[in-house]
Amino acid sequence: MKIAIISDIHSNLEALNSLPQDFDELWVLGDLVNYGPNPIEVVEFIHAKANVVVRGNHDHAIGFNEDPRCSKPFREMADAMKEYTRSVLSSKHRQFLRGLPLRAERDVDGVRVVLCHAIPSDPLFAYCLPDSDRWQPELEQANADILLVGHTHIPFARELGQRKVVNPGSLGQPKTASPAARYAMWDTAQGRGGIELRCFDYPFGRTIAQVEALPIKHELRLRLAEVLREGGLPDVATEGEEET
C-alpha cells in the first residue's frame, strides 16, 4: 500500500489539486485552512477523500473561533485571514474542523503509527525543530514506531533508534525557500524505511492571483503572496515559538 502524507494545506486548492495521485490512502496532518483563498474547496476535498485527518492549530482557531497563536511575522496575516475564512465557511464546515481529532493512531503491518499536528504532548501549538532533543521522549510517550507531524512547514525524516519521526513539510505554504509543494509518500511494503520526502511544482501563480483578490489589506495580500512565491518570509522562528 502507498500512503500520501500531507500537512499544512492552508486553503491552497491549486497545490492540493496538483498532488500526484499515485497513492492508495491520503493522510492529513492538519491545518487545512487559513492563509489561503479556497477554504471551502479544501475542506470539502479533504472531507471526501482523506482516510485520516487530525486537527491543526488553524483548524482549531477557525472551528472554535480561538487564537492560532502565530508568531509576530504571521500574526496579522493569520488574524485577517481567520476573519475571512470564518465568513465564508458554513457552520457545517466549521463543525467538521471542530470534530477533527487531535491525534490518530494506526497499525500498518505491525508498525505503530501516531499522527498529530505538532507533537503528542502539545498537539496543536508546540514548535519543535528537526534536531530538537524533544523528539525522543515524544516518541517514547506516544509509544510510536513512526510519529508523523506537521506544523513547522519544515520537511525532515529523523531516525531515533528503532523509531522514526517524519514531517512532510507544507503542501500549501512551503517555507523551504522554494514555492514547490512538499509531502511524503510511504510504501508500506518497505516498513519504516519506505517513507520518502517529495516535492512538486504547482501553478502557484493562480493561488497568488486569488490571494490578490481577497478582501483584506493590500499589504497583507502582498505578504501572503511573498510567502507563496519565495517559499517563506526571512523571519525564522526558534524552538518554543509558534510560527505558523
Would the pLDDT of 84 be above 60?
yes
pTM: 0.95
Whether residue 149 is contained in a domain is answered as no
User: Residue 114: beta bridge partners?
Assistant: 105, 147
Please state the φ and ψ torsions of residue 93, each to the nearest 5 degrees.
-60, -45
Q: Tens of pLDDT along 124-182?
A: 999 999 999 999 999 999 999 999 999 999 999 999 999 999 999 999 999 999 999 99
Q: Give the CATH number, domain containing residue 31.
A: 3.60.21.10
User: Residue 156: beta bridge partners?
Assistant: 167
What is the reported pLDDT for 241? 45
Supply 95's cell numbers: 463543525
177: which residues sit within 8 A by CB, 6+ positions away?
Answer: 230, 231, 232
Q: Cα–Cα distance between 24 and 170 in angstroms, integer?
A: 20
Whether residue 83 is contained in a domain is answered as yes
Evaluated on CA atoms 201, 206, 207, 209, the torsion sign reads: positive
Whether residue 45 is contained in a domain is answered as yes
Whether residue 200 is contained in a domain is answered as yes
- 89-116: b (≥16 Cβ within 10 Å) or e: beeebbebbeebebebebebeebebbbb
Whether residue 94 is contained in a domain is answered as yes
What is the reported pLDDT for 83? 97
- Structural contact between residues 65 and 42, judged by C-beta atoms closer than 8 angstroms: no
- Structural contact between residues 43 and 93, judged by C-beta atoms closer than 8 angstroms: yes
Q: What is the mean pLDDT of the chain?
A: 95
Q: ∠ at Cα 195 (189, 198), nearest 5°?
A: 130
- Confidence band, pLDDT 50/70/90 cuts, at residue 233: confident
Whether residue 132 is contained in a domain is answered as no
Whether residue 22 is contained in a domain is answered as yes
Q: Cα–Cα distance between 129 and 12 in angstroms, integer?
A: 24
What is the reported pLDDT for 235? 53
What is the reported pLDDT for 165? 98
The domain total for the chain is: 1
Residue 183 is part of which domain span?
2-103+167-230
Separation in Å, CA 36 to CA 11, 119, 186: 4, 24, 27
Q: Tens of pLDDT along 91-128?
A: 999 999 999 999 999 999 999 999 999 999 999 999 99
Whether residue 171 is contained in a domain is answered as yes
Q: Tens of pLDDT along 4-62?
A: 999 999 999 999 999 999 999 999 999 999 999 999 999 999 999 999 999 999 999 99
The strands making up 146-148's β-sheet, listed across from edge to edge, are 103-108, 111-116, 146-148, 163-167, 156-160
Helix axes 39-49, 72-88, angle to 10 degrees: 80
Q: What stretches of the chain adopt beta strand conformation (E)?
A: 2-6, 25-28, 52-53, 103-108, 111-116, 146-148, 156-160, 163-167, 181-187, 195-200
Taking residues 198-223, what's their average pLDDT? 97
